[in-house]
């Protein structure tokens, strides 16, 4: 791992944002739209008048923000990679002395930056529009956010590996993969809602612990640290597994000579 | 030797792209890799870059095995080709800055400007890369390829989109750089006149196999032809000619 190369790769992504307003818009567009829809929906529910509504509002908005963080973390890895594919720049990077680890670390770092900026904007908006103050809860939520990012990176690595191996056909996965885990990781509802036979699968996903944990923090102000440690532990397992999977696929890609063909189908 | 390739083979599910290819390239040599479409030139170059894994055989660059010393080797060489480009949304200077960072080039600004001037595109430094004409971006890409003062340049059809005047200038530049710095260049092109002009030695590939090797003049003489172009056509048309008959110079 060479910090200079990682910085140079990161710089390349940041310069892209400096040069392009549409890209900057793209960071904020979906989170803001989500927040508006969910926020106003819950406001509407509040008007209609259900007894559980105040808690529901907080849960939904919290879930929405957290879901978006997970999605952004995965996207930062995959979109960075796709940017290089689309620009026909991938080969330039892989014929330079850049290791896979350095390449991925740069995309992770970009993810952290995007999530920080995004989280801040969403938190401000949620506060301005719905008087939802995420910081009121102290910084108890931050470890959960970090754990969520790790999961986003693991998913991002798997997605990139699939795109390298199957090219355009797999590009749709870049957008879709996070949604594969959404129904099972108790994003908008507790695990108890799921049929019993799905529970083991749900509890095998790090994100489940984060979303359940987040709701507990919101409901009680207390962080369920056991949940956090479980999510962190599982995430480390998933990260290592994704890394191994990535390496394996990269080997196949070199065997089949696919790196130079990417983006040219 | 800068490049030592020994019995290199690459098969892609059944089709043989490179077939028991052996060759060497010395310091300061410009070596042309010729052959018809699908002859295996690009595959060979990408194996030298370590982005395609050989089926068999060995590759040593700077005396090191690419399979085990890929990082060290890549730091000391560079690559340019018509089929890669630099991010279109970045300014010319920013692209060079990023790659200078990746290769660890000190004083990237001066280095980049010097190279841009060398290729007569210093006026475009502040432009977005996507706005360059294809010839201008080819030259920018050559600037990228020279950023790290490579000892070896792998150029896969680098002049494909250059107009005759610029192509001529680029060839002369490459010649000059090679003379002044002793760079080794591996060069592919379909322009036989260009190859004759620039290459010290050529290797003809056909169906992945080496059909002839030597200085352009010797190869032309050996085939009793007037030009490399005629040799090329002859080799392709008599594709079945046994390579053993020709006793390629080694
Ligand atoms: N990734 C790949 N998978 C399968 N076959 C491949 C792959 N890459 C190249 N080939 C095949 O290997 C052979 C050599 O291709 P290569 O690209 O090396 O030729 P080339 O000499 O560079 O040709 P050109 O002059 O057209 O660029 C061709 O038959 C090609 O179809
Ligand atoms: Mg080729």
**Residue range B139-189, pLDDT digits in tens:** 999 999 999 999 999 999 988 878 888 888 889 889 999 999 999 999 999
Query: What are the DSSP calls for A139-163, one per residue?
Result: TTTHHHHHHHHHHHHHHHHHHHHHH
User: Counting beta carbons within 10 angstroms of the beta carbon of residue A189, is it exposed (0 to 12), middle (13 to 18) or buried (19 or more)?
Assistant: middle
Cβ–Cβ gap A96/B53 under 8 Å:
no
A49 touches chain B (CB under 8 A): no
A247 touches chain B (CB under 8 A): no
Q: How far is the centre of ligand 1, averaged over its atoms, from the C-alpha of A69 (Å)?
A: 42
pLDDT value for A135? 62
**Low-confidence residues of chain A, pLDDT below 50?**
none
> From residue B165, how far is each of B135, B162, B170, B228 by CA, in Å?
11, 8, 9, 21
Which chain B residue lies closest to A12 (C-alpha atoms)? B98
Nearest ligand by distance to the CA of B41: 1
Cβ–Cβ gap B52/A8 under 8 Å:
no
Question: What Rg do the C-alpha atoms of chain B give, in angstroms?
Answer: 18
pLDDT value for B7? 97
Which chain B residue lies closest to A7 (C-alpha atoms)? B101
A137 touches chain B (CB under 8 A): no
Mutate to test the interface with B, among A96, A105, A251, A253 (most CBs of B within 10 A): A96
Query: What does the DSSP 8-state code read for residue B19?
Result: E
Of B201, B131, B145, nearest to B173 by C-alpha is: B145
Cβ contact A159:A246 at 8 Å: no
Residue tagged 């749900």 (tokens): A202
Look at ligand 1, atom 7, and give the residue with the nearest C-alpha.
Answer: A257
* Measured distance CA(A204)–CA(A186) in Å, rounded: 12
Number of CB atoms found within 10 A of residue A198's CB: 13
* Measured distance CA(B18)–CA(B43) in Å, rounded: 7
Measure B144 CA to nearest chain A CA, in Å. 9
* Measured distance CA(B32)–CA(B55) in Å, rounded: 23
Considering CB atoms only, which of B53, B86, B104 is closest to A255?
A: B53
Cβ contact B95:B110 at 8 Å: no
Whether B49 has a pLDDT exceeding 80, the answer reads yes
Measure A176 CA to nearest chain B CA, in Å. 26
Q: How far is the centre of ligand 1, averaged over its atoms, from the C-alpha of B161 (Å)?
A: 20
Question: What Rg do the C-alpha atoms of chain A give, in angstroms?
Answer: 19
pLDDT value for A56? 74
Q: What is the mean pLDDT of residues B125-138?
A: 92
In this prediction, residue B128 has a pLDDT band, given cuts at 50, 70 and 90, of very high
> From residue A163, how far is each of A71, A239, B83 by CA, in Å?
17, 18, 20
Of B20, B36, B22, nearest to B206 by C-alpha is: B36
pLDDT value for B108? 94
| ipTM at complex level | 0.89
pLDDT value for A23? 77
The tokens describing A86, both together, are: 């689309």
Of B65, B73, B67, nearest to B52 by C-alpha is: B67
In chain B, what residues touch A88 (CB-CB under 8 Å)? 83-85
Ligand 1 pocket list (CB less than 6 A) = A 256-258, 261; B 12, 15, 17, 35, 37-43
A252 touches chain B (CB under 8 A): no
> Strand B77-81 and strand B64-65: pairing?
unpaired
Beta bridge partners of A122: none
Helix axis angle, A53-86 to A206-220, nearest 10°: 140
pLDDT value for A52? 57
In this prediction, residue B39 has a pLDDT band, given cuts at 50, 70 and 90, of very high
Within 8 A by CB and 6+ apart from A209, the residues are A147, A203, A227, A228, A230, A231, A234
Query: What does the DSSP 8-state code read for residue B88?
Result: T
The tokens describing A250, both together, are: 């990269």
Considering CB atoms only, which of B75, B81, B102 is closest to A8?
A: B102
The tokens describing B22, both together, are: 């052996």
Q: Which helix (H) or strand (E) holds B8?
A: strand B3-12
**A1 vs B210, residue with greater confidence:** B210
Sheet of B209-214, strand order: B77-81, B152-156, B184-188, B30-34, B201-206, B209-214
The tokens describing B44, both together, are: 């060979």
pLDDT value for A24? 80
Write the Ramachandran bin of A161: left for phi over 0, alpha for psi from -120 to 50, otherwise beta. Answer: alpha
A87 touches chain B (CB under 8 A): yes
Measure A255 CA to nearest chain B CA, in Å. 5
Beta bridge partners of B212: B204
* Measured distance CA(A136)–CA(B228) in Å, rounded: 78
Mutate to test the interface with A, among B42, B45, B47, B51 (most CBs of A within 10 A): B51
Considering CB atoms only, which of B78, B88, B104 is closest to A4?
A: B104
Cβ contact B211:B56 at 8 Å: no
Question: Number of folded domains in chain A?
Answer: 1
Cβ–Cβ gap B94/A15 under 8 Å:
yes
Measure A94 CA to nearest chain B CA, in Å. 7
Cβ–Cβ gap A260/B97 under 8 Å:
no
pLDDT value for B45? 97
* Measured distance CA(A25)–CA(B191) in Å, rounded: 46
Q: What SS3 state is found at A74?
A: helix
> Strand B209-214 and strand B201-206: pairing?
antiparallel
Considering CB atoms only, which of A5, A88, A94 is closest to B51?
A: A94
Look at ligand 1, atom 6, and give the residue with the nearest C-alpha.
Answer: B12
Whether B243 has a pLDDT exceeding 50, the answer reads no
* Measured distance CA(B184)–CA(B27) in Å, rounded: 5
What range defines the domain where residue A224 resides? 3-264
Cβ–Cβ gap A83/B87 under 8 Å:
yes
Q: How far is the centre of ligand 2, averaged over its atoms, from the C-alpha of A28 (Å)?
A: 42
* Measured distance CA(B154)–CA(B79) in Å, rounded: 5
Query: What are the DSSP calls for A9-45, one per residue?
Result: HHHHHHHHHHH-HHHHHHHHHHHHHHHHHHHHHHHHH
Q: What is the mean pLDDT of chain B?
A: 91
Cβ contact B139:B119 at 8 Å: yes
In chain A, what residues touch B85 (CB-CB under 8 Å)? 87-89
Look at ligand 1, atom 24, and give the residue with the nearest C-alpha.
Answer: B37
Residue tagged 């879709």 (tokens): A176
pLDDT value for B36? 93
pLDDT value for B244? 43
* Measured distance CA(A226)–CA(B46) in Å, rounded: 50
């Amino acid at each position: 791992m060479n910090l200079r190369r990682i910085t140079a790769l990161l710089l390349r992504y940041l310069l892209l944002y400096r040069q392009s307003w549409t890209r900057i818009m793209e960071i904020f567009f979906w989170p803001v739209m989500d927040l508006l829809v969910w926020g106003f929906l819950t406001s509407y529910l509040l008007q209609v008048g259900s007894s559980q509504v105040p808690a529901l509002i907080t849960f939904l908005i919290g879930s929405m923000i957290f879901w978006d963080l997970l999605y952004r973390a995965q996207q930062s890895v995959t979109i960075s990679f796709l940017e290089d594919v689309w620009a026909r720049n991938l080969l330039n990077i892989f014929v330079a002395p850049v290791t896979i680890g350095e390449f991925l670390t740069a995309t992770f770092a970009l993810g952290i930056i995007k999530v920080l900026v995004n989280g801040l904007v969403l938190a401000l908006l949620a506060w301005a529009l719905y008087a939802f103050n995420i910081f009121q809860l102290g910084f108890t939520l931050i470890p959960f956010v970090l754990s969520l990012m790790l999961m986003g990176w693991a998913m991002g690595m798997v997605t990139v590996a699939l795109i390298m191996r199957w090219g355009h056909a797999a590009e749709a996965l870049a957008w879709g993969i996070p949604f594969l885990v959404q129904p099972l990781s108790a994003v908008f509802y507790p695990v108890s809602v799921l049929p019993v036979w799905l529970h083991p699968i749900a509890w095998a996903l790090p994100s489940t612990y984060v979303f359940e944990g987040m709701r507990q923090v919101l409901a009680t102000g207390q962080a369920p640290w056991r949940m956090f440690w479980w999510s962190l532990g599982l995430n480390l397992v998933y990260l290592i597994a994704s890394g191994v999977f990535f390496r394996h696929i990269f080997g196949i890609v070199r065997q089949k000579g696919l790196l130079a063909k990417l983006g040219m189908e | 030797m800068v490049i030592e390739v020994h019995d290199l083979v690459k098969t892609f599910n059944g089709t043989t792209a490179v077939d028991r290819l052996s060759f060497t390239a010395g310091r300061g040599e410009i070596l042309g890799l010729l052959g018809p479409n699908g002859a295996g030139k690009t595959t060979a170059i990408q194996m030298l870059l370590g982005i395609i894994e050989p089926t068999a055989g060995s590759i040593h660059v700077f005396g090191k095995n690419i399979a085990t010393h890929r990082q060290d080797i890549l730091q000391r060489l560079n690559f340019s080709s018509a089929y890669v480009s630099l991010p279109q949304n970045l300014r010319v200077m920013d692209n060079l800055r990023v790659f200078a960072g990746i290769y660890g080039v000190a004083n990237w600004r001066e280095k980049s400007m010097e190279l841009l001037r060398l290729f007569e595109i210093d006026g475009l430094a502040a432009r977005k890369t996507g706005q360059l004409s294809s010839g201008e971006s080819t030259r920018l890409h050559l600037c990228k390829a020279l950023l790290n003062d490579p000892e070896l340049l792998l150029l896969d059809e680098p002049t494909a989109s250059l107009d005759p005047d610029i192509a001529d200038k680029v060839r002369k530049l490459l010649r000059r750089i090679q003379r002044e710095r002793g760079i080794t260049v591996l060069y592919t092109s379909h322009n036989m006149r260009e190859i004759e002009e620039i290459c010290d030695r050529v290797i003809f590939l056909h169906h992945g196999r080496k059909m002839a090797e030597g200085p352009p003049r010797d190869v032309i003489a050996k085939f009793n032809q007037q030009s490399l172009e005629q040799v090329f056509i002859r080799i392709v048309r008599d594709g079945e000619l046994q390579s053993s008959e020709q006793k390629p110079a080694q």
